[in-house]
Amino acid sequence: MGGDFAPSADTDERLSALIQSHPDAIKSPFALYQHMLSRGAYRWGETVVVSRMEDVRKILWDHKNYSNRAHAIGSRPDAFRARLRPHELQAFDELTAFEELIISRTDGDQHQRLRAIVHRAFNPQAIATLEELVGVFTRQLFDDMVASGATDIASAVTRNLPVMMICALLNVPQSEAPLIQGWSARIGKNRGQGVVADLMDAHDALMEFRDYVREKIELLRLDPKSTNLVSTLMGASDEERLSEDELVAMVLILLFAGADTTKALLGNGTHVFLSNPDQWRLFLADSQGRLGGATDELIRYIAPVQTLWRVTTAPVRIQDLEVEPGTTILLLMGAANRDPAVFEEPDRFDITREESRPHVSFGFGTHFCLGTHLAQMECRAYFGELATRFPEVKLTQDPDSVTFGGNIQFRTVTGLQVALGAGRSG
Ligand code: HEM
């Protein structure tokens, strides 16, 4: 099927609602995804929207014709910049200059260099420490939930576990997690939707966060025996050494890439599992044996990173669309994971599905996620504990009444009322 359909007001409005993170659009983007999949590549103002798996994979793989610097260059940021007043433009440029140092927003040699450094920091020793901690933290969060009588599993457990893990990874005191979550939410609101107030707030939050990380780095410098990930990044040999701003950018991406994604996976995953009691029962029947398959299917179905941005650096053809260089591309990852050309009955959650694997939830190609192991480890620890300790867990609210917050990239349940049932000793 070709892609060059005439733009439709209805499609444009629905895409606008999604990118503006309208709560209804964020809650249920899936009908729009199927619509986009049936239309193919779609020109939406200055942006081209791509949803089919085949196209998404091709674009993520092709770093010759597509750049990751879509926040800085190309049709969408150009259109936004043109609307800004001088002091807003200054904030935009400062934010963009800092973002140029973030690994996932770099290309070519700069990207390869940053990736080699961070890759080494995720060494087997660091991962083994985390493996131990994930079980301890999961049990502790459930213990606290039971002791306090809390009923919202999202605020008691799923929102906290990923941040605790990242704090441990980065050697940040757990008591400072709320502070980090605050900055993360403010910076995360500015995800290409072109809202000036969000831009200004993200800029201020980034400056505060930068000062905070710089202070932490100073403290670590005074503790040469420290072996955590940031120390490893700081201690890289001369030719690999990160500048101070690069180090701040690395801490920032690890925090955001590691926390927002996994929060969505655990929180939305609980919602999905408990809204599909047949699948929960199937899981309980052999939770150890099914843990791997269930994790893969959850990651496909939820697509914790719903969207990615790219910008063309050369003329390209996407299906029937001739796309000029400098065009912003919006990749609907959540749609690609539900492409009927790849997955049978894609909107069905099925933990026995054999073909969950080819999902693109962790990306594809040169920027493939560096935290897959950690994310899967958290998912297994959390659902493993829930199944063995609270097999009778149930939603106590209508699944349709659950609301979602976040933004076009990370949609996450705002709360999830459950009854844990008679727990087995943990
Ligand atoms: C369910 C959880 C997660 C999902 C779905 C996820 C997804 C992704 C995706 C889609 C990308 C590719 C971005 C692109 O191509 O532009 C990515 C990159 C990345 N992820 Fe994850 N991620 C998860 C967890 C984590 C964790 C726990 C960490 C580390 C603490 C992490 C660290 C990174 C880093 C550093 C990159 C950048 C890699 C690069 O640009 O070369 N992620 N992730």
pLDDT for the residue 9: 66
Per DSSP, what are the bridge partners of residue 309?
330
Residue 112 pLDDT > 80: yes
pLDDT for the residue 224: 67
Average pLDDT over residues 240-268: 87
Residue 220 pLDDT > 80: no
Average pLDDT over residues 66-76: 94
Q: 303 CB less than 6 Å from ligand 1?
A: no
- 328-332 vs 47-50, strand pairing mode: parallel
Residue 91 and residue 18: Cα distance in Å, rounded?
Answer: 25
Quote the percentage of the chain above a pLDDT of 70: 93
Both tokens of residue 314?
């050369």
In a domain, 13, yes or no: yes
pLDDT for the residue 238: 52
pLDDT for the residue 131: 87
- Reported as a pLDDT band with limits 50, 70 and 90, residue 425 is low
Contact indicator for 126, 223 with CB cutoff of 8 Å:
no
Return all residues near 360 (Cβ < 8 A) that are at least 6 apart: 53, 56, 57, 60, 333, 336, 337
Cα 197–chain centre separation: 23
Distance 305 CA to ligand 1 centre (A): 9
Distance 308 CA to ligand 1 centre (A): 11
In a domain, 210, yes or no: yes
Give the nearest ligand 1 atom to 104 CA: 40
Top mean-pLDDT range of 125-139, 198-212, 248-262: 198-212
Q: 269 CB less than 6 Å from ligand 1?
A: no
Return all residues near 385 (Cβ < 8 A) that are at least 6 apart: 135, 138, 139, 142, 426
Residue type for position 275? S
Return all residues near 108 (Cβ < 8 A) that are at least 6 apart: 63
More confident residue, 350 or 239: 350
Q: Please tell me the residue having the least CA distance from ligand 1 atom 12.
A: 363
In a domain, 185, yes or no: yes
- Reported as a pLDDT band with limits 50, 70 and 90, residue 1 is very low
Q: Which of 74-78, 211-215, 230-234, 353-357 has the lowest mean pLDDT?
A: 230-234
Q: 68 CB less than 6 Å from ligand 1?
A: yes
Residue 15 and residue 371: Cα distance in Å, rounded?
Answer: 29
In a domain, 2, yes or no: no
Q: Which of 247, 271, 260 is nearest to 399 (CA)?
A: 271
Give the nearest ligand 1 atom to 259 CA: 27
- Reported as a pLDDT band with limits 50, 70 and 90, residue 37 is very high
- Reported as a pLDDT band with limits 50, 70 and 90, residue 408 is confident
Top mean-pLDDT range of 2-16, 155-169, 318-332, 342-356: 318-332
- Residue 321, classed as helix, strand or coil, is strand
Q: 302 CB less than 6 Å from ligand 1?
A: no
Q: Which of 125, 37, 74, 132 is nearest to 336 (CA)?
A: 37
Q: Which of 106, 408, 87 is nearest to 249 (CA)?
A: 106
Contact indicator for 177, 160 with CB cutoff of 8 Å:
yes
CA distances (Å), 414 to each of 66, 96, 169, 399, in order? 35, 29, 25, 13
pLDDT for the residue 58: 98
Domain that holds residue 257: 9-419
In a domain, 4, yes or no: no
Both tokens of residue 336?
């690609």
Count of structural domains within the chain: 1
Residue 326 pLDDT > 50: yes
> Whole-model pTM?
0.93
Residue 309 pLDDT > 60: yes
Instruction: Encode 133-156: b = buried (16+ Cβ within 10 Å), e = exposed.
Output: bbeebbeebbeebeeeeebbbbeb
Residue 378 and residue 382: Cα distance in Å, rounded?
Answer: 6
Q: 67 CB less than 6 Å from ligand 1?
A: no
Contact indicator for 403, 23 with CB cutoff of 8 Å:
yes
The mean predicted confidence, pLDDT, of the chain is 89
Average pLDDT over residues 74-78: 92
pLDDT for the residue 134: 95
Average pLDDT over residues 397-408: 91
Best of 164, 261, 265, 301 to mutate for ligand 1, by most ligand atoms within 8 A of CB? Answer: 261
Q: Determine the angle formed by the axes of helices 244-275 and 177-188, rounding to 10 degrees.
A: 90
Q: Which of 61-65, 224-228, 312-316 has the lowest mean pLDDT?
A: 224-228
Per this entry, what is the length of the chain? 426
In 10 A of CB 331, how many CB atoms?
26
Q: Which of 124-138, 236-250, 277-291, 402-416 has the lowest mean pLDDT?
A: 236-250
Best of 71, 270, 370, 383 to mutate for ligand 1, by most ligand atoms within 8 A of CB? Answer: 370
Q: Please tell me the residue having the least CA distance from ligand 1 atom 7.
A: 362
Q: 310 CB less than 6 Å from ligand 1?
A: no
Q: Please tell me the residue having the least CA distance from ligand 1 atom 36.
A: 369
In a domain, 183, yes or no: yes
pLDDT for the residue 237: 53
Q: 40 CB less than 6 Å from ligand 1?
A: no
How many CA within 13 A on the CB side of residue 294?
A: 27
pLDDT digits (tens, 9 = 90+) for 20-31: 888 899 999 999
Distance 369 CA to ligand 1 centre (A): 4
- Reported as a pLDDT band with limits 50, 70 and 90, residue 3 is very low
Residue 56 and residue 360: Cα distance in Å, rounded?
Answer: 8
Quote the percentage of the chain above a pLDDT of 90: 65
Both tokens of residue 136?
């301890």
Residue 152 and residue 143: Cα distance in Å, rounded?
Answer: 14
CATH number of residue 229's parent domain: 1.10.630.10
pLDDT digits (tens, 9 = 90+) for 130-156: 888 999 999 999 999 999 999 999 999
Average pLDDT over residues 243-267: 88
Judged on CB neighbours under 10 Å (0-12, 13-18, 19+), 391 is middle
Distance 371 CA to ligand 1 centre (A): 6
More confident residue, 123 or 367: 367
Distance 396 CA to ligand 1 centre (A): 33
More confident residue, 123 or 303: 303
In a domain, 47, yes or no: yes
Give the single-character DSSP code of 237: -
Instruction: Encode 265-287: b = buried (16+ Cβ within 10 Å), e = exposed.
Output: bbbbbbbbbbebeebbebbeeeb
Distance 83 CA to ligand 1 centre (A): 31
